Structure 1
């Protein structure tokens, strides 16, 4: 049991390292292999729990090498192929061994079992590109990325990959538009090179570079420039306050109600600011082409994010979304009292 707990902890650390890697930077092979090895060791042990053979001390020895772990996981999935997480772990292990076709196929099996997991959809799309001779995202990969963005419109990795796929197809203006919303939610270190890529795409599309103000996302100086806004009161259920993860942040988001739920205004606050009152207006727009003042009605939601990502993830705390009219007298009160499943 102690061994299982240790391996589970290692898996959590590996998963965190994977999730917080730079958005567009390819992982180095040794690092990827280490993550996959930890994941497969813990995942294999998890999958064999409940198997009578696992009670035999002679058969409880954990795999000591990546090939051994892969073999054990393959056997476990042959016994029970209905475990999406098992296929995901196996796919990552294949990728660590540069078995790109096997990784692609294993990710496909995982997606079939968990079609609404945005992280998994992005990984599956990337695996298809890595398995192709020209490293291009094919139609199936693009469908996977678009599905991920339907689940989580601001899923960072999916937006980055979809923009790359659009660039590969000569859709440079579309790629820039796909990437621009990310400028409002990524950290400054990431935003600078991202803006460079957006400007390159815009130049190839025959468009002018983004204004410097768009990249920095500063607040306009005057109320007239900010346009009409929505006053939002945000509070947190006291029962959830006792479960706040360390380093959590709060996003207050207004998004369009027609078409894809794209954000038109976003404010990011430390969780210590709760309860608070904020005003969402054009100064909070993540996109230069879509402003709060352009819409008559928006959907407003507040979310406590443990990861710092604006996209909802399991375990985050959120309010129920409410519709609000835009205008100087618009007010809405949000209570963060739900847990994202």
Structure 2
């Protein structure tokens, strides 16, 4: 019978790496964070079963195997000698070696994975992070940044790629560019994670000595949102999302500022500013007038879907000193 300690080790290694990779966005929700960690652990176990063989998973003695987990890595390396074209195997080897603190070896394994699968977004992102970990200063070099940029090109919705690109830009002193990249993440994050990221964006802006910061503050817009008496939202799930949106009157539907909150948070008051812009090229501070409204979405998407509930839009001249009242 095939022993299961090696697949279990692969699952553990993948879970450890999941914690390391997902930690920056852990505030997006404990359940989601734990779920992703467990999912990656299970994926690691399944991947080992694909790469390995019954012979590789059966050590000579079970006691010796339990006392020497590194033997699992060696046997995985032997499996890859037989099937060196398995990009998934090299990626798993890299994760396992990272968990063992074998940084240089892990970096080499991920380089092999990228060479075999240059368009696999998860491999590119993990390889970039592993490469940075081999640096004494944990710096993302040009190669790792190029991997991240390619990952973002392949999948513009990759939150991990965007987060790490921002980190790499900050390390280079490109603070304004880092803030712009991180701002694109804000509409995709849960309120807790978005608030944490706004702090990092503010730090980046301050480090850049961004001149328009005062103007941005002057154009900040305070918005209060509540359910009006008689509003029927019973058909919406309890975990429905509320978007508070500012956009150009008569312009494109893309928001110039947006915040995402839970329906259960109502009533609430927020402040929209340049940090809430999903478009680096269009800022709230650059406009003289905006249209503001709130939307309750069952799908969690800011774009209007069937069954969504919108408030009446309110046009506001900027700067605006009062509070915009919205009722759903």
- Structure 1 Cα separation of the partners of residues 142 and 189 of structure 2: 28
Task: For residue 22 of structure 1, give the secondary structure of its aligned residue in structure 2.
Answer: helix
Change (3 A) 1:145 1:96: same
Aligned to 2:182: 179
Query: Distance in 1 between the 2:73 and 2:135 partners?
Result: 23
Aligned residue number for residue 203 of structure 2: 200
- CA shift, 1:290, in A, is 3.3
Question: Which of the numbers 69, 80, 84 marks the counterpart of 1:81?
Answer: 84
- Give the C-alpha shift of residue 42 in structure 1: 4.5
- Structure with max Cα Rg: 2
- Return the TM-score normalized by structure 1: 0.56
- 1:109 Cα deviation from its structure 2 partner: 0.5
Give the whole-Å Cα distance in 2 for the aligned partners of 1:15 and 1:100. 17
Contact 1:44–1:69 (CA under 8 A) maintained in structure 2: no
**Other-structure match for 2:23:** 22
Question: Separation in 2 of the partners of 1:114 and 1:91?
Answer: 14
Partner Cα separation in structure 2 for residue 67 and residue 54 of structure 1 = 13
The 2-side partners of 1:266 and 1:118 are apart by 27
For 1:287-340, what per-residue CA distance to the aligned partner results, in whole angstroms no more than 9, with x for missing partners?
36338xx9xxxxxxxxxx9xx899xxxxxxxxxxxxxxxxxxxxxxxxxxxxxx
Cα gap change, 1:36/1:90 in structure 2, threshold over 3 Å: closer, same or farther?
A: farther
1:7 and 1:158 mapped to 2: Cα distance?
Answer: 28
Give 2:307's aligned residue: none
SS at structure 1 position matched to 2:185: helix
**In structure 2, what is the equivalent of residue 157 of structure 1?**
160
Counting only pairs closer than 5 Å after superposition, residues 119-138 of structure 1 correspond to structure 2 as 119-138=122-141
Measured at CA, do residues 186 and 201 of structure 1 come closer, stay the same or move farther in structure 2, by a change above 3 Å?
same
Is residue 2:118 matched to residue 1:115?
yes
Distance 1:309 1:141 in 2: 31
Any idea what the Cα deviations from partners look like across 1:88-119, whole Å, max 9, x if unmatched? Answer: 11001110111111111101101111111112
Task: Name the residue aligned to 2:228.
Answer: none
Q: Does 1:45 align with 2:37?
A: no
CA distance in 2, matches of 1:203, 1:150: 28
Partner residue in 2 for 1:334: none
- What is the CA RMSD across the aligned residues, in angstroms? 4.7
Instruction: Write out per-residue CA displacement over residues 128-170 of structure 1, whole angstroms, 9 at most, x where no aligned residue.
Output: 1110122111111111111111101231111111111111111
Partner of 2:245: 219
Secondary structure of 1:82's match?
Answer: coil
Give unmatched runs, 5+ long, in structure 1. Answer: 26-30, 231-253, 255-262, 271-283, 295-304, 311-341
Could you tell me which runs of 5 or more consecutive residues in structure 2 were left unpaired when the two chains were aligned: 27-33, 223-241, 263-275, 288-298, 303-328
Question: Is the aligned partner of 1:286 residue 2:278?
Answer: yes
Which whole-Å CA distance do the structure 2 matches of 1:170 and 1:58 have between them?
50
* Counterparts of 1:71 and 1:36, CA distance in 2: 22
The 1:118–1:15 alpha-carbon spacing in structure 2 relative to 1, beyond 3 Å, is farther
2:109 aligned residue (106, 111, 117): 106
CA distance in 1, matches of 2:182, 2:120: 21
In the TM superposition, what whole-angstrom CA distance separates every residue of 1:161-190 from its partner, at most 9, and x where no partner exists? 111111111111111111110011011111
1:169 matched to 2:172: yes
Local SS of the residue matching 1:219: strand
Q: 1:144 to 1:58 in 2, by over 3 A?
A: closer
Instruction: Report the TM-score when normalising by structure 2.
Output: 0.58
What is the aligned partner in structure 1 of residue 98 from structure 2? 95
Alpha-carbon spacing, 1:37–1:93, altered in 2? closer, same or farther (3 Å) = farther
